[in-house]
Amino acid sequence: MTKQPLVVFEDVTKRYGTFTAVSPINLEIYKGEFLAIMGSSGCGKTTTLRMLAGLETPSDGEIRLAGKRINDLPTWQRDTPMVWQSLALFPFLTVRENIEFSLRMRGVERAERSARVDKWLDRMQITEFAERNVAHLSGGQRQRVALARSLVTEPEILLMDEPLSALDAHLKVRMQTVLSNLQRELGITFVYVTHSQSEAFSMADRVVIMSAGRVQQIGRPQEVYDRPASLFVATFIGAPPMNLFDVADVPVPAGTFPSSVATVGVRPEDIMLRTDVEGKGIRLDCSVSLVETLGADSVLHLRTVSQDGRPGLPVIARMGGNAREWEGRTMPIWLPPSRLHFFDQSGLRAEIPLSR
Ligand code: ATP
């Protein structure tokens, strides 16, 4: 991946009447990278993608593709094909005709069209369905046709809006591998909108986390997971979500944390549950109300047991193996200092140097 921006969003805004769907967004998308745009429903991710595709015009700011302002360039003059959740294949055409369509529109002559379609039929392993009507294909097969149709023109960038959300869990995972391999082999830029963390994290080089029309954080998936920039990102990334405690509820000697800290967070998987770690963190005594066993690991729903009769705090922990035996019992847990996250009054990450 070369560090050369193929796409630049500079202070790009999108308003619908008085409603701001996308607040000024600044974003560089590099040549050859797999960028995922994530966020909850209505956060503006599809609008951002549609502006890049030319299906919406920015209200303010500038979008550049390969150094050229494209704000007002019609969608058919941009080389930014898009794959939708609905796929939008032509229902009365065969697989071959669907894939061939954009080549025809570009006036590519017959022999070359045929060779390129054959190549993509083969590459997507759908040659045997070439003459079949797309209505008579499975979801996964249709997905491959949609990809072939977009990639047959060999674009520099491919935009995808929730392309896998209609598929079942197994097919989704298989298609993630297909997409990752394709992107690496072709070296083209993928911009991928999803609400699914597992899709974004398994495929993307970088993720953009959006909320309420604003970019909350941009980074490599691991960076965003390890160092969420805000409470929003901390709870949006990770399942079950990060446990958050009001600093006053954390049983530590006064002055342990600086006064700027308002909230302390710890991920369920970072909580230590084994007695052999005693003394290695902040101890909380908890009752175990429910254990969900997931096969490789278990999710424990706990509540702190307070000495003074105050209602306990809910805590979720995740541990390897089957922890069913703990249901209904009381157990100590430890919050390791090196795995704590701190947030200030306004919900932004605070870096606290703690002695570890
Ligand atoms: P989802 O995951 O539900 O698709 P999203 O993050 O992709 O959500 P957008 O489709 O970008 O969200 O929409 C952002 C906001 O803009 C939403 O509140 C939506 O209702 C609003 N919006 C989108 N298109 C229009 C439009 N044409 N007119 C008015 N409001 C719109």
Q: How confident is the model at residue 315 (pLDDT cuts 50, 70, 90)?
A: very high
Least confident piece of the model among 62-76, 141-155, 265-279, 339-353: 265-279
Structure confidence at residue 355 (pLDDT): 53
Would you say 140 and 171 are in contact if contact means Cβ atoms under 8 Å apart?
yes
The backbone region for 307, taken as left when phi is positive above 0, alpha when psi lies in -120 to 50, beta otherwise, is alpha
Structure confidence at residue 1 (pLDDT): 53
Least confident piece of the model among 136-145, 169-178, 189-198, 303-312: 303-312
Distance CA 213, CA 13 (A): 9
Q: Which is the closest atom of ligand 1 to the Cα of 43?
A: 6
78 pLDDT above the threshold of 90: no
Structure confidence at residue 356 (pLDDT): 45
- Ligand 1 pocket test: pick from 9, 12, 16, 48 the residue with the most ligand atoms within 8 Å of its Cβ: 16
Structure confidence at residue 248 (pLDDT): 92
pLDDT in tens, 262-289: 999 999 999 998 655 556 789 999 999 9
Cα-to-centroid distance, 356 and ligand 1 (Å): 45
Residue nearest to atom 1 of ligand 1 (CA): 41
Residue nearest to atom 26 of ligand 1 (CA): 16
How many CB atoms within 10 Å of residue 248? 7
Cα-to-centroid distance, 324 and ligand 1 (Å): 43
Distance CA 326, CA 313 (A): 18
Mean of per-residue pLDDT scores for the chain: 91
Cα-to-centroid distance, 46 and ligand 1 (Å): 7
Least confident piece of the model among 12-16, 57-61, 248-252, 276-280: 276-280
**327 or 84, which is more confident?**
327
pLDDT in tens, 115-167: 999 999 998 889 999 999 988 888 888 888 988 998 999 899 999 999 888 88
Q: Which is the closest atom of ligand 1 to the Cα of 44?
A: 11
Is 14's C-beta closer than 6 angstroms to any atom of ligand 1?
no
Is 47's C-beta closer than 6 angstroms to any atom of ligand 1?
yes
In terms of C-beta density within 10 A (0-12 exposed, 13-18 middle, 19 or more buried), how is residue 202 classed? middle
The pTM for the full model equals 0.90
Mean pLDDT (whole number) for 171-182: 91
DSSP string for residues in 141-156: HHHHHHHHHHHTT--S
pLDDT in tens, 3-42: 779 999 999 999 999 999 999 999 999 999 999 999 989 9
